[in-house]
Amino acid sequence: MNDRVLLGKSECLHRHEIRYLDNVKRLNKVIDKIRKKHELYWQMPYFDPKGGGENANILFLGVSPGTMSILTGFVSVDNPDPTDVLLNVLMTASYIDFEKIALWNIIPYYLCDEEGKLCKPTMAEIKNGLEILIHDIFPLFPQLKAICLVGKHLRMVESCIDNIFKGKMLIYRCPDPNPRSMTMKSYHFQEAMDCLTAISLLM
């Protein structure tokens, strides 16, 4: 049963209070250091303390945080954003154990133009994001069994991640759970379900 709570105002406050729980303490302390080093504060959300954190078996990676992650302060399937809500539904239907997964992004900070609108990452930004993953994030997941790359834009980094783990990490690809895309291209829905169902068997 999925008893997760959408990140409204009171739930956001609660999760900020518990953002240094043992399962995410080292991860979110690292985020604090990166924020300070690069002077990125509101632009870089935290790991969700109600996810698996360092105990996760599966790490789901998107491209970069969306607007709602910035507003709530967390990369989470509980964000009240249509894409996150649909991902939550798909994961629940696939029997994903939320306590055994973590969500993050290749680029950990909000990418926007001067008007505050989301923009596509450059290769330099992707390279910088991968370096942060390699040196600061991946080492904090000792129980990791697989990585799921969410969205077609991450295919370019699959071989790089495979090389990092010397071919010993399972890598899955899941279509972007954007409601519009899922509606217009029904095969994306089935691809996502097949991917998440396969991942659930690893738990």
| pLDDT tens, position by position, 86-105 | 999 999 999 999 999 999 99
With beta carbons less than 8 A apart as the criterion, state whether 39 and 71 touch. no
Tell me: pLDDT of 178 over 90: no
Cα–Cα distance for residue pair 162/164, rounded to 1 Å: 5
| pLDDT tens, position by position, 39-79 | 988 899 999 999 999 999 999 999 999 999 999 999 999 99
With beta carbons less than 8 A apart as the criterion, state whether 78 and 6 touch. yes
- Pick from 77, 82, 50: nearest CA to 62: 77
- Pick from 148, 21, 175: nearest CA to 86: 175
Q: How confident is the model at residue 3 (pLDDT cuts 50, 70, 90)?
A: low
With beta carbons less than 8 A apart as the criterion, state whether 44 and 64 touch. no
Portion of the chain with pLDDT greater than 90, in percent: 72
Which domains can be identified in the chain, with CATH numbers?
9-200 (3.40.470.10)
